[in-house]
Structure 1
Amino acid sequence: MEKKDLFIGVLLGLITSAIGSFLYITFFISSDFVEGFNSLQRQGSLNKIITLGALLNIVIVLLLFKKNKDQMAKGVILSLFILTIYTIFL
Structure 2
Amino acid sequence: MKREILIGFLIGVVASVFGFIFGIQIFGNSSDWGLVVERSINQGFFTKLMSIGAALNLGVFFLFLKKNKDQRAKGVLISTILMLIITMAIKFLN
Q: Normalized against structure 2, the TM-score is what?
A: 0.88
* Structure 2 stretches lacking a partner, 5+ long: none
Aligned to 1:82: 82
Runs of 4+ aligned structure 1 residues displaced above 3 Å come to none
Q: Counterparts of 1:77 and 1:71 in 2: how far apart (Å)? A: 10
Aligned to 1:21: 20
Provide Cα deviations, 1:32-76, integer angstroms capped at 9, x if missing partner. Answer: 222101111222321111111111111101111111110000000
Q: Normalized against structure 1, the TM-score is what?
A: 0.92
What count of residue pairs does the alignment treat as equivalent? 89
* Structure 1 stretches lacking a partner, 5+ long: none
Greater shift, 40-49 or 18-27, is seen at: 40-49
Aligned to 2:7: 8
Q: Counterparts of 1:80 and 1:14 in 2: how far apart (Å)? A: 8
Greater shift, 51-60 or 27-36, is seen at: 27-36
Greater shift, 38-47 or 4-13, is seen at: 38-47
Q: Counterparts of 2:29 and 2:88 in 1: how far apart (Å)? A: 26
Q: Counterparts of 1:28 and 1:45 in 2: how far apart (Å)? A: 10
